């Protein structure tokens, strides 16, 4: 492998390196290690391209900074440098690359894309917030706060705001998604009276995460890549999803951190949305020794993308529709030879599989045609003729998931979402997520984040009493097996083979496991401690371990420590349960 000293090509700290670095990539697209002098570098949105990003607002063009296209056997070693970006843009884009390592850097904005406000006083319908004018440059206009993101881009607050406890730096109990500010007025000295219904659990000194901007770019975006390693990277800010990897094969994130830059006056916020969003990949996704704090959505989400059948054109051709407005128009949703599964949406049960011969995207983002290598069975065609009763999921674009030795600090919503039929191994992690710590999800009716799980093992993890302090969506248990199934059938559950063992739960009488539409679930050799952090509060729970429309569940050899007031077990429309 060739070694390039970037400084010898004029790529030096203190400069905007965007154009020079791209030229260097074009001259050395293969078998090269690019080594930087340690320092501060600046990257600007010099390029644009039509990328279709999963779970992101649709745009005709994305603004790009560091752009790798068709590169192979590449190492980017930033030697501990900090890279500063400006405004709405995508820091790293990897397109059709193989065997690429990006390592040893921090990603930040001088003008961060999430702001914070500190509570000075509280009333029944207002909260007074101090907003640091240096850390978060802002202005008041027409009763709204606007924040400067750089490049003369000003953006107003997203309605929903999250409150963090000033002492623990965790999301304040029972405040998740509870605050919607209707207006703002200036009180002087950078203090603003924010009108809206205020939760009783607010307190002076607490910190509000003030999201602004739109979800338009990822921190790292990878598409159609193989064998990507992200190592020793810290994200201090981001304008959308942190690491978005789609239609790739084999990804490793090692010591990738999403944290607030406290030296820059940021106490809790580390990103605007998800940390790692992994859509329609294959091979193995490995996340290890990473940490997350202050994200405004889930640290990790591994899933596919379900579509619906809009029309049966003939026995070999279907017209399909992307249903979610932030997950559509993909160029690589299917390719010749891919195997897809057909799902009856009411019960979320499979009605067969087929092999793709061709995928043709329409001129719009919403529709495409699928052609198959043989006639589809009558059972599939009959359901498909019932308007949008049939969903399609690409089984080839599904990845195994290994998640070990990570710290999931307090963030908005859940810790891990996982929806994949390939093996899932979650071990040795610490969870303090304010929603469910682990959500085994999957649906073709709401988010359309598909993935029937066949093999999930969760062991040797610690779930603190900071988990599930607010319900959010799917917050039915610390571990929540909760697919979206409109009409569940106990004899045909959606998920299968889930083993939860040798974990430690510290819970304030909150459900530790909720299982819905799942078969062959084992919960054993776990330790469940009664935390004194709060009284029982969960609005739906009657049991610490809950089964709903499940088949074959076993609970045994668990240790319960403390005076729980919640019942130990709860079962609804379930069969063949062994509860010890």
List, run by run, the mean pLDDT of 10-residue segments along the chain (580 residues).
96 97 98 98 97 95 98 98 96 98 97 95 93 96 91 83 92 85 94 86 92 93 98 95 98 98 94 94 98 96 96 96 94 97 94 97 92 96 89 97 98 95 98 96 91 96 95 92 96 97 96 97 98 88 94 98 94 96
Q: What is the phi/psi pair of residue 262, to 5°?
A: -70, -25
User: CATH code for 404-579?
Assistant: 2.160.20.10
* pLDDT for position 484: 95
Domain 307-394 is found in CATH 2.60.40: no
Domain residue ranges in the chain: 2-111+215-297, 114-211, 307-394, 404-579
Cβ(86)–Cβ(111) under 8 Å? Answer: yes
* pLDDT for position 543: 94
* pLDDT for position 569: 95
Q: Are strands 462-463 and 424-427 parallel, antiparallel or unpaired?
A: unpaired
* pLDDT for position 54: 96
* pLDDT for position 175: 82
pTM, to two decimals = 0.97
* pLDDT for position 180: 85
Q: 70-104 burial, b for 16+ CB within 10 Å, e for fewer?
A: ebbbbbbbbeebbbbbbbbbbbbbbbebbbbbbbb
* pLDDT for position 519: 98
Class of domain 2-111+215-297: mainly beta
* pLDDT for position 197: 79
- Find, among 64, 4, 67, the residue nearest to 37 by Cα: 4
Instruction: Answer yes or no: same fold for 2-111+215-297 and 404-579.
Output: yes
* pLDDT for position 150: 85
* pLDDT for position 99: 98
* pLDDT for position 157: 84
Q: 19-33 burial, b for 16+ CB within 10 Å, e for fewer?
A: eebbebbeebeeebb
Q: What is the phi/psi pair of residue 18, to 5°?
A: -55, -55
């Amino acid at each position: 492998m060739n070694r390039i000293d970037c400084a010898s090509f004029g790529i030096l700290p203190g400069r905007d390196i965007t154009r020079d670095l791209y030229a260097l990539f074009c001259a050395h697209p293969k078998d090269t290690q690019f080594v930087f002098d340690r320092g501060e570098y600046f990257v600007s949105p010099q390029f644009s391209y039509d990328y279709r990003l999963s779970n992101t607002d649709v745009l005709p063009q994305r603004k790009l900074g560091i752009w790798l296209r068709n590169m192979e056997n590449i190492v980017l070693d930033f030697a501990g440098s900090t890279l500063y970006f400006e405004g709405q843009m995508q820091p790293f884009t990897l397109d059709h690359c193989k065997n690429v390592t990006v390592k040893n850097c921090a990603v930040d904005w001088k003008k961060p894309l999430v702001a914070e406000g500190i509570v000075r006083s509280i009333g029944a319908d207002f909260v007074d917030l101090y907003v640091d004018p240096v850390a978060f440059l802002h202005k008041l206009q027409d009763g709204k706060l606007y924040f400067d993101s750089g490049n003369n881009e000003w953006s107003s607050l997203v309605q929903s705001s999250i409150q963090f406890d000033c002492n623990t730096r965790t999301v304040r109990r029972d405040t998740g998604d509870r605050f919607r500010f209707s207006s703002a007025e200036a009180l002087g000295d950078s203090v603003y009276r924010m009108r809206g219904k205020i939760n009783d659990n607010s307190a002076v000194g607490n910190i509000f995460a003030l999201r602004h901007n739109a979800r338009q770019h990822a921190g790292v975006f990878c598409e159609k890549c193989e064998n990507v390693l992200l190592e020793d990277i810290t994200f201090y800010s981001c304008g959308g999803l942190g690491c978005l990897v789609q239609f790739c094969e084999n990804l490793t994130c090692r010591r990738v951190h999403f944290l607030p830059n406290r030296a820059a006056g940021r106490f809790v916020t580390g990103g605007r949305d998800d940390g790692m969003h992994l859509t329609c990949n294959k091979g193995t996704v490995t996340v290890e020794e990473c940490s997350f704090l202050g994200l405004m959505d889930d640290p990790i989400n591994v899933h596919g993308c379900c579509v619906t059948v809009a029309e049966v054109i003939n026995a070999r051709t279907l017209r399909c529709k992307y249903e979610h407005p932030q997950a559509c128009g993909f160029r690589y949703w299917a390719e010749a030879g891919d195997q897809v599964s057909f799902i009856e949406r009411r019960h979320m049960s499979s009605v067969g599989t087929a092999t793709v011969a061709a995928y043709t995207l329409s001129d719009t983002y919403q529709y495409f045609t699928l052609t198959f290598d043989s006639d589809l069975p009558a059972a599939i065609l009959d359901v498909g003729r019932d308007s949008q009763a049939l969903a399609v999921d690409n089984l080839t674009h599904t990845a195994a998931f290994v998640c070990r030795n990570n710290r999931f600090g307090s963030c908005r919503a859940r810790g891990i979402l996982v929806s994949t039929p390939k093996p899932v191994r979650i071990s040795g992690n610490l969870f303090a997520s304010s929603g469910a710590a682990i959500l085994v999800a999957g649906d073709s009716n709401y988010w359309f984040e598909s993935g029937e799980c066949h093999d999930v093992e969760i062991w040797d993890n610690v779930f603190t009493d900071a988990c599930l302090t607010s319900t959010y969506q799917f917050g039915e248990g610390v571990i929540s097996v909760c697919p979206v199934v409109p009409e569940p059938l106990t004899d045909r559950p959606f998920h299968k083979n889930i083993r939860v063992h040798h974990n430690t739960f510290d819970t304030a009488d909150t459900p530790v496991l909720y299982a819905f539409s799942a078969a062959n679930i084992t919960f054993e050799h776990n330790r469940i401690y009664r935390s004194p952090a709060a009284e029982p509060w969960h609005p739906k729970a009657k049991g610490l371990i809950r089964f709903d429309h499940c088949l074959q569940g076993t609970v045994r050899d668990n240790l319960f420590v403390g005076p729980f007031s919640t019942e130990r077990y709860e079962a609804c429309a379930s069969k063949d349960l062994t509860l010890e």
